[in-house]
Chain A
Amino acid sequence: MKFSPAAMRIKFASFLSLVAILLLALFASQPLLAAGKLNVVAATQDLASLTSEVGGDRVNVTAIAKGYQDPHFVEAKPSFLLNLRRADLLVVVGLELEIGWLPPLITQSGNPKIQPAAQGYFDASRFAEILEIPTAQVTRAMGDVHPQGNPHYWLDPQNGLRVAGGLAQKLSEMSPGDAAYFQQRLQDFRRRLAEAEKRWDEQMKPYRGRKVVTYHQSWPNFVKRFGLQVVEYVEPRPGIPPSPAHVVALIALMKRQSVKLILVEPYFDLKTPQSVARETGGQVVVLMPSVGGDKDTGDYIKLFDYDVSLLVKAFQQAR
């Protein structure tokens, strides 16, 4: 039995089909560019908010990770590619926070502009003060550590301002005609943030030096900025669920040091923190680590407004 003619026909038809699909794709779908506006995709809503502060109505900004989801464990959904493929600028947190999901999205996007080190790739960590940079050998025995330092740096408003400054510079490079506009927006943001910081400092002043426990190591920049002290974490190591032995030790420590507040991110289970709080007479405070984590944390300044007032209320109750 011979299949040669049929085989050749099928092979040729298949090849033509593939070519047709690819040509159709090339000519029928040029990326849609909003007239005169830069398309910016930010890895998180915090960075999206800072970009909006500076970019105003001259940029279209979308965020990938929601403020109420754990930014370490975002799924690399294909729907994110729809924005990434037409992005002029990608703003990332960096320090390997997004290592579990962003790299394949960037590769799959087919967008040369946002590849690492390209002009449209903006690593915000380059502009921030980074804490907890390991000085000794790092191993996974320490949990899911970040070898380049703690990536939750946006929780210091001064880092937000530094990042906004870097963004103003980047946006001005990409759209020189709007440079004055971006600088004016930056100055306005700086002024509003300075006013807000004065307010937050005033509110937090009575509680400087207070000891707290946090679930994950998300808050080093925040506690440094507002003069709090983290004595222990609910996780025994970053990314490792709490074990019974660790919980027992944590309860003993909190009782010994009279620690009353356990700060928990909205995406962690409250069961263990609540049982610890019951045992120690403390309370659990669900702080928002990101813009968009709650309806009242709609932008970068509102995020700190929310967290500071929640903390103040909790400290007052814990007296």
Chain B
Amino acid sequence: MNHFTAILLSALLTVGIGRAQGSPATNPAEEPQKAQEERIRKLEEEVQALKAAQTAPKTEPTQLGGAGGSAAKALNPDISLNGDFRGSIGRNEVRPVPGLEMHEAELGLQSVIDPYSRGDVFLSFGESGVSVEEAFVTLTALPGGFVAKVGKMRAAFGKVNATHNHALSWTDRPLVTENLVNGEDGINDMGLSVSRILPAPGDLFLEATGQVYRGDSGVVFTSSRKNDLSYVGHLRGYKDLTENTNLEIGYSYAQGHNELGHDFLTRLHGIDMSLRWKPLRRSIYNSLLWRSEFVWSQRDQLPTQQKSFGLYSSLDYRLDQRWTVGTRFDWSQRATASNQLDRGGSATLTYWLSEFSQVRGQYRFVRYDGRHDASELRLQLIFVMGAHGAHPF
């Protein structure tokens, strides 16, 4: 018998005993009708108050079935799978892609580890095998407002580098990413990341992130000695311009050794800008994102250092709950030969079957090195199974 039931029974017993004793003061028959109503009202209020005071959970206990019915299953991490199926029609002799491919199935395992940390692991299954896309622990209970991550992770260099394929607005990555920031894999390495919100005037949001990596990120950074570390720093500012519109500007710096050896460094500077508009009352129907990133690369190589630059600028507009249109402009020199310039443009159309699946078509034209034209229609089906955690803004 719980506390509430005991009190309720006591209250009823008291009324019952009062009636049985036939006390003149409590005999309902002798009370005026108004007084009786008042008593009933007070009793009802008391019962409601007692009900409200009950603080025990009202939810049903979790039912766990199966052989053994171990309650420990409830502690399993959230499991998700993001599928990315792609098709391509058209011609691209410089960077060809298969006509049809299951480009990636990304398995996500995410969970709180203990009161001090959480873990996020993303395994990428593709045609070339399995790789650990990210596997890191986030320390959430550090003093001083610091948040640290340890493990393998996409570096905080700009916006696209830190974004998984299925969360992009396109079937590909911009030319500047392909040419200067290690393409699809990007700067993605084993290391340590520390970030903190910085003091700023008014309602301006400022955050600094510092990262140290082993120094291996495909063609952009290669570690030939144990202490050939790479470093990434990111500073971002964010402000709500209105309730529906916000602006974010970030500066990134990355530095590491390249594949030519210990004495050869590559330094990257990046600026990213995002202007978003999303009316709160119509957030599932309409939104606009204008995003641009600029990257400068300084690469030590023989006979001379190469200084290259690249950018993209994209605009995505959500027409309604199902349709999104977008366009992107690409312009980028190549990291190893700044005299080679690639330019291109894209138009995308995305159809959202639901929150958990979308079909995308992208027409892409690229002129590589000013002479090789590539014209392609790329198609993509993205689907999400299971409990995939939300992405950071």
Contacts and interface: CB of A to CB of B under 8 A. Distances in A.
A56 interface: no
A176 interface: no
23 contacts: A7-B257, A18-B210, A18-B212, A18-B233, A21-B233, A29-B196, A66-B243, A66-B280, A69-B283, A70-B283, A75-B283, A77-B393, A79-B240, A79-B246, A99-B387, A99-B390, A115-B115, A130-B60, A140-B354, A158-B51, A161-B48, A165-B55, A190-B52
Contacts of B233: 14, 17-18, 21
Contact of A162 (B52, B59, B197, B356): B52
B265 A2 contact: no
A137 to B, nearest CB: 10
Interface stretch (B12-20, B94-102, B126-134, B200-208): B200-208
B115 A11 contact: no
A164 B49 CA distance: 12
Interface string A103-135: 110111111100111100000011111100100
B184 interface: no
A226 interface: no
A74 B205 CA distance: 18
Contacts of B197: 25, 29, 81-82, 85, 110
A22 interface: yes
Given A10-B265, A10-B267, A22-B196, A79 B239 contact: yes
B370 interface: no
B57 A267 contact: no
Interface in B46-89: 48-49, 51-55, 57-60
Interface in B144-199: 144-147, 194-199
Contacts of B205: 78-79, 81-82
A3 B299 CA distance: 12
B210 A111 contact: no
Contacts of A24: 198
Contacts of B207: 78, 81
Interface string B114-145: 01001000000000000000000010111111
Given A78-B207, A79-B246, A115 B281 contact: no
Nearest to A118: B115
Contact of B55 (A28, A118, A127, A269): A127
A60 interface: no
Contacts of A158: 48, 51-52
Contacts of B51: 158, 162
B238 A103 contact: no
Contact of A29 (B138, B198, B236): B198
B68 to A, nearest CB: 19
Contacts of B391: 104
B263 interface: yes
Contact of B196 (A26, A125, A239): A26
Contacts of B385: 140
Contacts of B321: 241, 269
